[in-house]
Amino acid sequence: MTALGVRGLEKRFGGLRVTAEVSLSVEPGERRLIIGPNGAGKTTLFNLITGELRPDGGSVTLFDRDITGVASRRRTHLGIARTYQIITLFQGETLLRNITLSLLGLSPLRWNPFVRLAKRDGLVAQARATLARVGLDDLADRPLAQTSYGERRRAEIAMALAQNPKVLLLDEPFAGLSIEERRDVLRLVNEIPRNVTIVMIEHDMDVALDFAERITVLHFGKVVVEGTRGEVVAHPRTKEIYLGE
Amino acid sequence: MRRLAAIVALAILATLPLWVSGTYYVNIASQVLFYAIFALGVNVLAGHAGLVTLGHAGLFGIAAYAAAKIMNAGYGHLSVATGALVVTLMAAGIFAVLALRGTGLGFVMITVALGQIVWGVAYRWISLTNGDNGITITGRPSPLGLSLTTPTRFYWATLIVFVVAVVSMAIFVASPFGASVRGTRDQPRRMNALGYHVWMIRFLAFLFSAFWSGVAGLLYLYYNQFVSPQAVALTASAEALLMVIAGGSATLLGPIAGAGLVVVMKNVASAYIERWNFVLGAIFVAIVVFMAEGLVPGVARLARRARGR
Amino acid sequence: MSLWAVLAVNSITLGGLLFLLSAGFSLIFGLMKIPNLTHGSFFMLGAYFATSLIARGFNFWAAALVGGLLVAAFGGIIERLILRRLAGAELAQVLVTLGLSFMIADVCLMVWTGDPIRIDTPAGLRGATSLLGMGFPTYRLAISLIAVIFAAGLWALLDRTRLGAMIRAGVDDPAMARVVGIRVSRLFTVVFCLGAWLAGFAGVIGGPILSVYPGLDQEMLPLALVVVILGGSGSLLGSLVGSLIVGFLYNFGQAMFPELAYVVLFLPMLIVLVVRPQGLFGRQAL
């Protein structure tokens, strides 16, 4: 069984073929890295997988179940979670409230207009625990506006982890971080257990290589190289794409 | 601390008719209260859901007109209130489905169009609404046998409804659903990705907002014993939005303070100058240009600046 | 038979007026993303200005042109002094146009009082003309002709001139337009003034049919809104088709169900929003 499958995925914007016949299969527990120069269509691919974009052709499967026609909010309930390249956290809230909102998204409690959210001890405890996983539990009550960029990047990952996803999509999780911070985030990601399948987009190879087991290289919306880390690194086309920049 | 302040405020409001001189002021207070309910309703949408509406007087008015018609058909007050609110919620459902086809400015535009259509109907469908002449009713409810015909009694009844409204708002704001609504305002895309049904959340917020706007419309009808197309004009929707903007949308007190401000200003201004519309427009322009965050927070900001912090 | 013909001509006339009113609104909304709630006021103001100009001896057409220019100048002042200060805060801009519409309405009430003012049909266009064996009011035919001329002119402007290309670029993709070097802020002023002029001019030439009175602005604004919702924003063809639809619906509706004129307007708006939210010819959804 493949955890995440994409077959013949197509997406066009006007005349531009942003995603061209992309197919890939990610095994359960795998650590897959998707790389490619800017404009290669990596984030669009994520948007197609999460359902935020509708494809013009092709299919997406989750644990062998076709989810191409499933609404994006439902895909979250089926076990997909993602982080964003540009931080999209709730600016006016504390870190704790941010994670709580993430937890609520999958809970029927989100429709409840009567109880006091702050008094839901179970939920709050779970939120603190998730923050602890990314090393932010001592900042739980800090308003987001008063956190550093590195802390927010980790909070982004906590948002996704809070939903106990089966498939985690990380969109450029290292963007804008210092070397120290990148090491921290990498350690965080490597600590995620194997019952979570992780697909990461990065466009800076150095950092993400440590993480990757298999790599897919995208260029102009097409898959041009795919294989194990060793195979891809050694592949002449990979060097061409990156050195030819 | 806040609990204490609320109790003190409630005590002051409850005893208001006793320490205020004359029924004129009691009446103003009644108006402030039911317009505050209206403003709180509008704030659910404009403040919490981030969906600015300029057509809510349409819902306020539908409640008032429906109530007037049901009452003049001979039904008792319980039927009047229930019937009016049911009609309002049904209309709100239709309005919401249409308005939510747009986002941001499209939403505003559609609410303006909807509000104006309600106004046009009120003005032109004379056999239904009596047009410009409006509909008169006689009598107020007598809950538990106590008649509400005196200003003081009516004020206390309005106060009770006001307290219920404020409590319901406080519960809503603190609830998971309230958090969901605010989430869709701040990061709708993210909320969708987190598993929330953004459209449905907005739709339900619209209905909740419409409910209290309808209650305010009912109180308006009982207060004035009269409803006319004036109640659903664009100026009425604008005043409601002004109450929210003036008071600030982030707190419960904001819309209440805003309602107080606008009602008092309107009554004072109307006594001295005939040009309330001009003043209303000018205030809108001034607040929007100079104090985007609302009068109450804006004044606070200026005061801080003056103190040199 | 002749009743239908009369209604049809009246509908086309109203449609023509609405086109002049809503073309400007549609361009302003499409380019600047502002639903200009002062647009009804511009219409009314143009008509009021014309009554004063005519009283001072201007002839009808001069009053129409100058009235339009006065409104355009006024619009330009609003755009540069107030709207530009709020660039980027579109909601604030909408609220400002709302506030201004209230102020303008009250000032008009002060200056021109509350009585409706008639504008006489211009000499030479009074009476009836025979067309296809039937008699039609000459002036109404004239309005329809004027609307067609303006539609063609605006189309030519948008399609054939550099200004038009810049406007279309700005409507389609404002960020890109800036990158390409289009002076977007100057374009905004030009378009806002153009829209204001059209509205004011429409108010004047509509005068002989509608008269001018307090509340005219509140009656015209929703019509413009419904036209844009039906036809789509930023689309000239959409404004034209939408205006004709609204003109017909409103007139036939009023003739057949006099009290339900606004309900008749509501239904197509409902249908369009549910079935095709971007309007018949619009590019993006509202």
Interface-testing mutation among A111, A156, A164, with chain B (most B C-beta atoms within 10 A): A111
Distance between C13 CA and the closest CA of chain B, angstroms: 21
Q: Do A72 and B187 touch (CB under 8 A)?
A: no
Number of residues that this document lists for chain A: 245
Q: What is the ipTM of this complex?
A: 0.91
**Is A54 touching B (CB cutoff 8 A)?**
no
Residue holding tokens 């100079």? Answer: B290
Which among C86, C225, C269 is the nearest to B289, CB-wise? C86
Encoding tokens for residue A34?
């998707």
- Asked if residue C134 belongs to a domain, the reply is no
- Asked if residue A118 belongs to a domain, the reply is yes
- Asked if residue C129 belongs to a domain, the reply is no
- Asked if residue C231 belongs to a domain, the reply is yes
Cα distance between residue B181 and residue B46, in whole Å: 11
| CATH code for position C72 | 1.10.3470
- How does strand A167-171 pair with strand A197-201? parallel
For residue C97, name the pLDDT band (cuts at 50, 70, 90).
very high
Helix (H, G, I), strand (E, B) or coil at B226: strand
Average pLDDT over residues C4-9: 84
Kindly list the averaged pLDDT for each block of 10 residues, start to end, along chain A of length 245: 92 87 94 88 93 93 94 94 92 93 95 93 94 92 92 94 95 90 90 94 81 90 90 86 63
Least confident of A119-123, B13-17, C240-244: B13-17
CB A70 within 8 A of CB A78: yes
| Number of domains chain A contains | 1
Q: What is the pLDDT of residues B240-281, one digit of tens each?
A: 998 998 888 888 888 999 999 899 988 887 777 777 888 889
CB C13 within 8 A of CB C144: yes
pLDDT at B309 over 50: no
CB B277 within 8 A of CB B234: no
Q: Do B193 and A73 touch (CB under 8 A)?
A: yes
**Is B189 touching A (CB cutoff 8 A)?**
yes
The closest of B83, B60, B59, B55 to B71, measured between CA atoms, is: B83
Instruction: Please report the pLDDT score of residue B6 as a whole number.
Output: 82
CB A158 within 8 A of CB A140: no
CB B229 within 8 A of CB C262: no
- Of chain C, the percentage scoring pLDDT greater than 70 comes to 99
Cα distance between residue C203 and residue C200, in whole Å: 5
Cα distance between residue B272 and residue A46, in whole Å: 63
Domain span holding position A105? 91-158
* HEC readout, chain A: CCCEEEEEEEEEECCEEEEEEEEEEECCCCEEEEECCCCCCHHHHHHHHHCCCCCCEEEEEECCEECCCCCHHHHHHHCEEECCCCCCCCCCCEHHHHHHHHHHCCCHHHHCCCCCHHHCHHHHHHHHHHHHHCCCHHHCCCEHHHCCHHHHHHHHHHHHHCCCCCEEEEECCCCCCCHHHHHHHHHHHHCCCCCCEEEEECCCHHHHHCCCCEEEEEECCEEEEEEEHHHHHHCHHHHHHHHCC
What CA–CA distances, in Å, run from A109 to A102, A103, B201? 12, 10, 13
Nearest 5°: phi and psi at A58?
A: 95, -175
C135 membership: H or E segment, kind and range: strand C134-137
Residue holding tokens 């369009």? Answer: C272
For residue B15, name the pLDDT band (cuts at 50, 70, 90).
confident
Between B179 and B268, where is the model more confident? Answer: B179
CB A143 within 8 A of CB A93: yes
Encoding tokens for residue B222?
């009982």
Which among C95, C104, C285 is the nearest to B288, CB-wise? C95
CB A160 within 8 A of CB A196: no
pLDDT at B124 over 70: yes
For chain B, report the end-to-end CA distance as a whole number of angstroms. Answer: 25
Sign of CA dihedral A210, A216, A218, A224: positive
Domain span holding position C167? 2-113+139-275
Which among C98, C258, C274 is the nearest to B54, CB-wise? C98
- Asked if residue A63 belongs to a domain, the reply is no
One-character DSSP codes across C13-64: HHHHHHHHHHHHHHHHHHHH----TTHHHHHHHHHHHHHHHHHTT--HHHHH
Instruction: Please report the pLDDT score of residue B295 as a whole number.
Output: 55
**Is A98 touching B (CB cutoff 8 A)?**
no
- Chain B residues in contact with A159 (beta carbon < 8 A): 194
pLDDT at C34 over 80: yes
B70 membership: H or E segment, kind and range: helix B56-72
Cα distance between residue B44 and residue B204, in whole Å: 10
- Asked if residue A124 belongs to a domain, the reply is yes
Average pLDDT over residues C31-43: 91
Residue holding tokens 């009644």? Answer: B30
Between C102 and C89, where is the model more confident? Answer: C102
- Asked if residue A54 belongs to a domain, the reply is no
- Asked if residue A109 belongs to a domain, the reply is yes
Least confident of A7-11, A25-29, B217-221, C124-128: C124-128
Between B63 and C168, where is the model more confident? Answer: B63
**Is A145 touching B (CB cutoff 8 A)?**
no
Q: Do C98 and B284 touch (CB under 8 A)?
A: yes
- Asked if residue C121 belongs to a domain, the reply is no
Domain ranges of chain B: 23-231
Q: Which residues pair with B135 in a beta bridge?
A: B227
B98 membership: H or E segment, kind and range: helix B77-99
Nearest CA in chain B to C222: B113
Q: Which chains have 3+ CB pairs within 8 A of B? A: A, C
Q: Do chains B and C touch (3 or more CB pairs under 8 A)?
A: yes
Encoding tokens for residue C97?
């146009």
- Asked if residue A211 belongs to a domain, the reply is no
B142 membership: H or E segment, kind and range: none
Number of residues that this document lists for chain C: 286
What CA–CA distances, in Å, run from A129 to A124, A136, A149? 9, 9, 21
Size of interface B-C (CB pairs under 8 A): 142
Between C186 and C47, where is the model more confident? Answer: C47
- Asked if residue C280 belongs to a domain, the reply is no
Which among C91, C105, C285 is the nearest to B277, CB-wise? C105
Nearest CA in chain B to C82: B289
| Number of domains chain C contains | 1
Instruction: Please report the pLDDT score of residue B302 as a whole number.
Output: 61
- Chain B residues in contact with C84 (beta carbon < 8 A): none
Average pLDDT in chain B = 89
- Asked if residue C9 belongs to a domain, the reply is yes
The closest of A229, A183, A181, A243 to A37, measured between CA atoms, is: A243
- Asked if residue C130 belongs to a domain, the reply is no
Instruction: Please report the pLDDT score of residue C256 as a whole number.
Output: 85
Q: pTM to 2 decimals?
A: 0.90
Q: Which residues pair with A65 in a beta bridge?
A: A62
Encoding tokens for residue A84?
């964003």
Cα distance between residue B304 and residue B287, in whole Å: 18
pLDDT at C179 over 60: yes
